[in-house]
Structure 1
């Protein structure tokens, strides 16, 4: 066997070993998700959110002509489920950091990106379950896909992209936060405040005039508008453009947080 053939074979073995590491760590993460009950909560949380918001507000909102509140509520239920998956990602990263697992991974013979990709696989699986359960819960409260199967696929794809970006941001927060408690506050408070001050629960016209510009332009409202547009088959560049910029911003924040963690651990 020539030197070139030996080199090619060595690279193939290294590549196979790396993806084997990704598979092993991903399986570890998924097992932990099941064991900790997060998968069960991914089923329960969307239904709980749908019931808690739909029942108290439906009678009030149905007084407005032409409003089907189950249809109106779908995007925010989906985004709240996405937020749950992101919070779970942050807490997993934080607890692993507290237990010293990230430090042990760094001294093992594996590329530095392997643990991050494995966490992303785990988070994506939990996100997919959360989204499916959210859409089922929305069907139960009266949502019906306005644009058929294509609309559902677009809703799922857009929500999934937002969820992956939020999971990356959450992963970075969990790695850099000093404790799981600090991680929980950093994830839950912004999500709660932005969710309540959004067009997900009530139209922007129902807010006081002085806060309407913030409500209209903040990221949750922009994501809600895009998901509604996808469901109704009414997407346009003018509707999608603000959300694209917010997604780019989330990606930049995620990369910054992950770079901060890498610098901190190498210092």
Structure 2
């Protein structure tokens, strides 16, 4: 009589399922980006001194330039304030985009992105979280600039809808410009280098524009650069939306610059980021 030997059943493996068998949760990029945006906001909340450039700077710029150049440029400080405020907002919000590159480069030096690399999150999430978290800085500089201008006598000449459209356009431009700062933050070795390079880029854009004087009052050789300067289009767009002056096609040019900045520098920033981590 033969006997049959039953083989023992294989134990069921315990622990997490393999990555291929795990169901992917929907909107992973959105969720991880939101979490990293929250991290960026917490950092900003805990270091309020990092907001000096978007709080005190527009106040100082408005007070100095209106007081010193108001009568010389426009004949009166009140008229020059109307002309200058959209330009100061554009200049300050563009300079506010420098900080994100400095902060990201500092995080890279501290090894924080090495920790992100070990997490099961999309590669782009840390960069998107930093960019979206920086929107708070742009909102702050917009509110501070308008509030300071209002205290000095500036008044919106259009309506609330156009005023909000002008503010949103400025914030959108700053978000798109921030990808330039992100890219530079990924390719240079120190945070001080990021600040120096970005300042050298923003400075000619600020003073080689119609922020402080009309384009026609500038030297002829300079007017060609001013006419294609993205800050010029942004400033003229805001002056039209705030004061009702003719805008022409400046809004469309500003939006085109926004698309171009993202299309060029976002892929460059992602490529540099992948090489770093």
Decide whether the 8 Å contact of 1:173 with 1:257 is kept in 2. Answer: no
User: Are 1:104 and 2:115 matched, yes or no?
Assistant: yes
* Residue number in structure 2 paired with 1:58: 70
User: Are 1:117 and 2:128 matched, yes or no?
Assistant: yes
Provide the rounded CA distance (Å) in 1 between the counterparts of 2:28 and 2:256: 37
* Residue number in structure 2 paired with 1:43: 55
Provide the rounded CA distance (Å) in 1 between the counterparts of 2:139 and 2:226: 28
How far is 1:189 from its partner? 1.3
Decide whether the 8 Å contact of 2:86 with 2:238 is kept in 1. Answer: yes
Q: Residues 245 and 22 (structure 1 numbering): CA distance in 2 closer, same or farther, change over 3 Å?
A: closer
User: Are 1:33 and 2:22 matched, yes or no?
Assistant: no
Provide the rounded CA distance (Å) in 2 between the counterparts of 1:224 and 1:202: 11
Counting matched residue pairs gives: 256
Q: Deviations over 1:156-199 (max 9, x none)?
A: 11111101101222222212222112101121112112211210
User: Are 1:199 and 2:210 matched, yes or no?
Assistant: yes
Decide whether the 8 Å contact of 1:93 with 1:174 is kept in 2. Answer: yes
Query: Structure 1 regions of 5+ residues with no counterpart?
Result: 1-6
* Residue number in structure 2 paired with 1:3: none
The structure in which a higher percent of residues are helix is 1
**2:90 pairs with one of 54, 79, 98:** 79
Decide whether the 8 Å contact of 1:91 with 1:174 is kept in 2. Answer: yes
How far is 1:24 from its partner? 3.6
How far is 1:144 from its partner? 1.1
* Residue number in structure 2 paired with 1:230: 241
* Residue number in structure 2 paired with 1:4: none
Decide whether the 8 Å contact of 1:226 with 1:239 is kept in 2. Answer: yes
* Residue number in structure 2 paired with 1:218: 229
Larger Rg: 2
Query: Structure 2 regions of 5+ residues with no counterpart?
Result: 1-19
**1:147 pairs with one of 142, 146, 158:** 158
How far is 1:237 from its partner? 6.0
Q: Residues 257 and 53 (structure 1 numbering): CA distance in 2 closer, same or farther, change over 3 Å?
A: farther
In structure 2, the residue corresponding to 1:211 is in which secondary structure?
A: helix
How far is 1:10 from its partner? 4.2
Decide whether the 8 Å contact of 2:186 with 2:273 is kept in 1. Answer: no
State how 1:173-188 maps to structure 2 within 5 Å: 173-188=184-199
The TM-score with structure 2 as length reference comes to 0.82
Worse-superposed segment, 77-86 or 196-205: 77-86
User: Are 1:251 and 2:262 matched, yes or no?
Assistant: yes
How far is 1:143 from its partner? 2.0
* Residue number in structure 1 paired with 2:167: 156
Provide the rounded CA distance (Å) in 1 between the counterparts of 2:132 and 2:192: 24
The TM-score with structure 1 as length reference comes to 0.85
Provide the rounded CA distance (Å) in 2 between the counterparts of 1:96 and 1:227: 35
Q: Residues 190 and 54 (structure 1 numbering): CA distance in 2 closer, same or farther, change over 3 Å?
A: same
Provide the rounded CA distance (Å) in 2 between the counterparts of 1:240 and 1:27: 31
